[in-house]
């Protein structure tokens, strides 16, 4: 393909191709997807908590529910130790250019570990004072997806080619420096080259099998330290400090495999592998109250502050090409580094519940969450301007109410 406007991709083909690329390279900056992934807790924890759909705010006395309303600490009347495992499987099915693909990955994780120390006090009004420590799996990022199909309209090399020819400042000597994570890799592996004074690339006529496989791993573990009390067996109060450990990794492999004995190219296949790793810690304060209206009915209120994360990420891209007429060629990017802060939205919660011995329990949680409060801020040696992303977040998100309802039959008092 030469550097001529008449040789560019047809509009429709480029649009289809670009739609595929929107998810191809998530490594170069934070985005709305990151904000949602790191700010939206999943319903994980003890079997009892998950069985109630995570709705426990007015009931309390449950290890994982303390993360939603720390007043639940004050409901305990005895010391307690719990530990829970989450075991499951994630399966994703996709269709790309008419070809269906499926990716399956197993997952297993310690989802909850908690210790309650309960002390009955000699006081006319306060009945119990409790201390609480827990680890709760707040989010799991374990997923795997795969796309594959024959693309007769475009190649990722088309985009890399256009990156080079459309920038008037790029020279033969500066291609790798200008595009270290994309077109520069294709140039370094000779998938883009020059002939007769013009740029060319190794897959001009397309028809290759195009694929991509992603595997995400790790998650957010939340450590909670709290205290709570029982006032006249009517009012339960609690407060806690939460510290989160965030670990996220994504391995993304994009590939193009040419038709066997394709007379239009000497490359037989090539693939580009991207590695992204994010790690850091967050800090959050929580307060709550539960009031027993009578022996059956209860109501609760809670506040969770924004969680303030300090994160560091590294990313690399490597490209390997196989040829009919030469040994394999390859290129590797430098290591990309980025340090930044992220804050999640705060949450105001109201809960209404009812529990009766040998009958069961029901609970309704209503949470007000202002997602507009999500913000990214750069710091460190390599500052990044997050103004555009923060404006996009403010425009895309609005305050919302989340409703959770859980019910459970039981033969024991809650």
Most confident of 33-37, 94-98, 150-154: 150-154
Kind and range of the H or E run holding 80: strand 80-96
pLDDT tens digits for 222-264? 999 999 999 998 999 999 999 999 999 999 999 999 888 778 8
Determine the pLDDT at residue 411: 44
For residue 1, what pLDDT is reported? Answer: 36
Could you tell me where the beta strands, DSSP code E, fall in 293-382? 297-304, 308-323, 329-332, 336-343, 347-356, 360-370, 375-378
Return the residue matching tokens 């795969």. 146
Which residue carries 């197993």 as its tokens?
106
* Statement: the pTM of the whole predicted model exceeds 0.85: no
The structure tokens listed for 28 are 């170069």
pLDDT tens for 107-131 read 666 788 899 998 888 888 888 899 9
What is the pLDDT, as a whole number, of residue 318? 96
- Do residues 178 and 169 touch, judged by C-beta distance below 8 A? yes
Question: How many angstroms separate the CA atoms of 136 and 226, rounded?
Answer: 14
CATH architecture of 29-153+201-408: Beta Barrel (2.40)
Q: Which residue has the tokens 């939460």?
A: 242
Query: What mean pLDDT comes out for the span 327-342?
Result: 93
Q: Is residue 312's pLDDT more than 80? A: yes
CA 331 vs. chain centroid, Å, equals 29
In the 3-class helix/strand/coil scheme, how is 173-241 assigned residue by residue?
A: CCHHHHCCCCHHHHHHCCCEEEECCEEEECCCCCCEEEEEEEEEEEEEEEEEEEEEEEECCCEEEEEEE
CA 49 to the chain's CA centroid: 22
Would you say residue 42 has pLDDT above 90? no
Structural element, H or E, at residue 163: helix 156-165
Predicted confidence (pLDDT) per residue in 172-207, tens digit:
999 999 999 999 999 999 999 998 888 989 888 888
58-103 tens-digit pLDDT: 898 888 888 889 999 999 988 888 888 776 655 666 665 666 656 5
DSSP codes joined into one string, 251-292 = EEEEEEEPPTT-TT-SEEEEEEEEEEEEEEEEEEEEEEEEEE
Q: Where do the domains of the chain lie?
A: 29-153+201-408
| Closest-CA residue to 186 (of 330, 74, 352) | 330
Q: Using an 8 Å Cβ cutoff, are 304 and 350 in contact?
A: no
Q: Where are the alpha helices (H) located in 28-100, listed in sequence order?
A: 32-39, 47-51
- Residue 343, beta-bridge partner list: 308, 375
Kindly give, in sequence order, each residue whose CB lies less than 8 Å from that of residue 182, ignoring residues fewer than 6 positions away.
25, 159, 160, 163, 317
Q: Cα separation of 135 and 116, whole Å?
A: 12
């Amino acid at each position: 393909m030469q550097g001529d406007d008449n040789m560019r991709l047809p509009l429709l083909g480029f649009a289809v191709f670009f739609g595929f690329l929107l998810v191809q390279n998530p490594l170069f900056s934070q985005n709305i997807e990151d904000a949602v992934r790191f700010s939206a807790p999943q319903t994980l924890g003890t079997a009892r908590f998950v069985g109630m759909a995570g709705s426990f705010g007015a009931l309390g006395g449950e290890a994982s529910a303390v993360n939603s309303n720390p007043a639940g600490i004050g409901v305990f009347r005895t010391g307690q130790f719990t530990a829970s495992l989450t075991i499951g499987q994630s399966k994703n099915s996709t269709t790309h250019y008419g070809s269906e693909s499926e990716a399956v990955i197993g997952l297993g994780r310690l989802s909850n570990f908690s210790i309650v120390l309960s002390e009955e006090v000699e006081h006319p009004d306060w009945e119990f004072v409790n201390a609480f420590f827990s680890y709760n799996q707040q989010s799991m990022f374990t997923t795997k997806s795969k796309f594959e199909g024959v693309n007769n309209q475009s190649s990722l090399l088309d985009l890399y080619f256009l990156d080079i020819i459309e920038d008037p400042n790029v020279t033969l000597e500066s291609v790798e420096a200008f595009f270290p994570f994309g077109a520069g890799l294709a140039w370094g592996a000779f998938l883009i080259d020059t002939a007769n004074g013009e740029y060319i690339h190794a897959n001009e006529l397309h028809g290759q099998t195009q694929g991509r496989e992603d595997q995400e791993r790790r998650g957010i573990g939340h450590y909670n330290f709290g205290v709570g009390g029982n006032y006249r067996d009517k009012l339960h109060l609690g407060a806690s400090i939460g510290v989160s450990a965030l670990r996220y990794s994504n391995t993304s492999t994009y590939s193009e495999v040419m038709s066997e004995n394709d007379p239009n190219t000497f490359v037989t296949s090539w693939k580009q592998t991207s590695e992204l790793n994010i790690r850091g810690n967050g800090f959050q304060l929580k307060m709550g109250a539960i009031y027993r209206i009578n022996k059956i009915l209860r109501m609760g209120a809670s506040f969770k502050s924004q969680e303030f994360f300090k994160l560091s990420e590294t990313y690399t891209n490597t490209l390997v090409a196989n040829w009919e007429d030469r040994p394999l060629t390859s290129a590797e990017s430098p290591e990309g580094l980025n340090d930044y802060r992220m804050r999640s939205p705060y949450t105001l919660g109201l809960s209404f519940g009812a529990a009766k011995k040998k009958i069961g329990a029901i609970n309704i949680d209503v949470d007000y969450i202002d997602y507009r409060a999500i913000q990214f801020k750069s710091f460190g040696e390599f500052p990044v301007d997050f103004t555009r992303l923060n404006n996009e977040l403010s425009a895309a998100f609005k305050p919302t109410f989340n409703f959770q309802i859980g019910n459970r039959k039981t033969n024991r008092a809650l």
